[in-house]
Amino acid sequence: MQPIPLECRVGDGAWQSCRMEVIQLGRHWFLQIGRQRIEFTHDGRGVVRMAQASGSVDVIPRWAEDRSLCWDSVCVRGDLPLD
């Protein structure tokens, strides 16, 4: 799959251009936000692991009020491939 252009926000930061690289739809993907690369893996049972240079953590996906999809403090908006 080709990289997907999106907008991303980390924490309370500003929205910025980013891209999603899908390895396996719904199971394994990356977000490239500037120089930061964040890896996501989904176990198929609801647990998503987010890994970045500072370490990895299990996160719960959630829809924010502004209709963005968030994992912990990382949010994305745009044409997301959900399944």
pLDDT in tens, 41-75: 998 888 899 999 889 999 999 999 999 999 999 99
Q: How confident is the model at residue 81 (pLDDT cuts 50, 70, 90)?
A: confident
d(Cα 76, Cα 69) in Å, to the nearest integer? 5
Torsion on CA atoms 65, 67, 68, 73, rounded to nearest 10: 10
Tell me the pTM. 0.89
Give the mean model confidence (pLDDT) for residues 69-83: 89
